[in-house]
Amino acid sequence: MAESDNIVVETAEKIFADLADPQTINNDKKNSWQAPLWQALSDAGLPLSWVPDDLGGSGASLADGFALLNAAGRFAVAVPLAETMLAGWLLAQAKIASPAGEMTVLPASPKDRITLDADGALSGRARGVPFAKAAKHFAVLAHGKDGISIALIDAAKARIEAGLNVGYDHSDTVTLDKVQPVTLKPAPKGFDQTTLMLMGGVARSLQIAGALESMLDISVRYSNERVAFEKKISKFQAVQHNLARLAGESAAALAAATSAADAIANAKAFDNEVYLEAASAKIRCAEAAEKGGGIAHQVHGAIGFTMEHILHRYSLRALAWRDDFGSESHWAVELGKLVASRGADELWPLVASR
């Protein structure tokens, strides 16, 4: 796997290798792998990586947390690790302590709004909330009369309509009807819903990039095993060129995602430059998921189209992750508007600022 000298990533990779082997998971129709995996991740403090010690977390750096998400993407793990990390991070912005157990964040789409009523209750609807069904608590960003607030709420108080995304993971609609939060605090100055969407988008970008790395690996391996016309298919130039393109898409996704993660980890604020990085990562990784995933399936022929084969664990999740925290078309419109409003002569200075 990745040449990592990062203890957080090493710990996670060991847990994934032991408890989240894609083939074992794929064969286990009862999902009995989920509880032990979550337990091991929790014991290692990984879901609360981005929560400082004094708020109940393990206080890893932003950079380590991002690397962890990339590793999770390489295993395409379907437990709410990214979601709980994001929730803990959001709560920590307002110095709210994180409870134990699964969490997720809402809203998960830039289109949805949760409002804070005058009496301190939360109302609104959030669609496409990943793993809402599995979560014990929600970290919520809400718009009130006096600005933006961050709240911790008990998931049992929300109405949840279960749904599945393209990758067969829970992606639910959460309705809050005057829900009283466990804790509610104002968000720090400058923190808004866009900040949350950018952070969520970068998390998803790293997961997509990780899934593409694995798609490349298993496609290369498969092409060296499968024989057709009395040759390994890896010896056909057309197949080689497809794999070279897949390598390019995988490399582009990883470059965009790690660059954005590095930008956030080192930034003082979510300024225009971070916006360029984070929005670009989500756009480019989503494009790579489409192109790269298509090639991975092509190389695998029919076998990759079966439920028995592990390819779909990566390809469908990568496609599904495109939709969370703003799709690529959402971010493209927003980034395009930003560039246009700054004017033609500011385009290159913006790109070159990174």
Partner 1 sequence: MTAALRFDPIRLPEKCEQLRKEVRAFLAEEIAAGTFDPHKPNREDTDAPEFSRRVGAKGWLGMTWPKKYGGQERSFLERYVVTEEMRVANAPTRRFFVADRQSGPVLLKYAPEHIKMDILPRICRGEICFAIGMSEPNSGSDLFAAKTRATKTDGGYLINGTKIWTSSAHIADYMIAIFRTSPPTKENRRHGLTQFLVKMKQPGIKVNPIGQITGQYEFNEVVFTDHFIPDDHVLGEVDGAWKQATSELAYERSGPERFLETYYVLTELVRAVGPNPDTRSAEGIGRLVAQLHTMRRMSVSVAGMLQAGKEPVVEASIVKDIGTVWEQQLPHRVRDLAAFVEETATNRETLEHQLDFAIKTAPKLTIQGGTTEVLRGIIARGLGLR
Cβ proximity to partner 1: between 302 and 352 the closer is 352
Q: Which is nearer to partner 1, 84 or 207 (CB)?
A: 207
Closest distance to partner 1 from the beta carbon of 261 (Å): 8
Is 324 in a helix, a strand, or coil?
coil
Nearer to partner 1, 118 or 344 (CB): 344
**Structure tokens given for 101:** 């157990």
How far apart are CB 233 and partner 1 at their closest, in Å?
10
Nearer to partner 1, 115 or 259 (CB): 259
User: One-letter amino acid identity for 242?
Assistant: N
Nearer to partner 1, 92 or 261 (CB): 261
DSSP H helices, the chain, are 7-19, 22-27, 34-43, 62-74, 81-93, 193-225, 237-266, 272-300, 311-321, 328-342, 347-352
Interface residues with partner 1 (CB under 8 A)? 1-2, 74, 212-213, 216-217, 220, 223-224, 234-235, 237, 239-241, 243-245, 247-248, 250-252, 254-256, 258-259, 261-263, 276-277, 279-281, 283-284, 287, 328-329, 331-337, 339-341, 343-345, 347-348, 351-352, 354
Question: To the nearest whole angstrom, how small is the minimum distance from the Cβ of residue 3 to partner 1?
Answer: 8
Residue whose structure tokens are 């930034």 = 267
Minimum CB–partner distance for residue 205 and partner 1 (Å): 11
CA distances from 33 to 19, 24, 46, 70 (A): 7, 8, 17, 21
Considering beta carbons, is residue 184 or 279 the nearer one to partner 1? Answer: 279
Of the candidates 274, 261, 318, which has an alpha carbon nearest to the alpha carbon of residue 76? 318
Side-chain-facing half-sphere of 287: CA atoms under 13 Å: 19
Instruction: Output the DSSP codes for 58-120.
Output: ----HHHHHHHHHHHHHTT--STHHHHHHHHHHHHHTTPPPPSS-EEEE--STT--EEE-TTS
Minimum distance, C-beta of residue 275 to partner 1, in the bound complex (Å): 11
User: Minimum CB separation from partner 1 for residue 339, in Å?
Assistant: 6
Interatomic CA distance for residues 5 and 53, integer angstroms: 23
Rounded distance between C-alpha atoms, residue 254 and residue 258, angstroms: 6
Strands 137-144 and 171-179: unpaired
Residue closer to partner 1, measured from CB, 41 or 283: 283
Find the shortest distance in angstroms from Cβ 343 to partner 1: 7
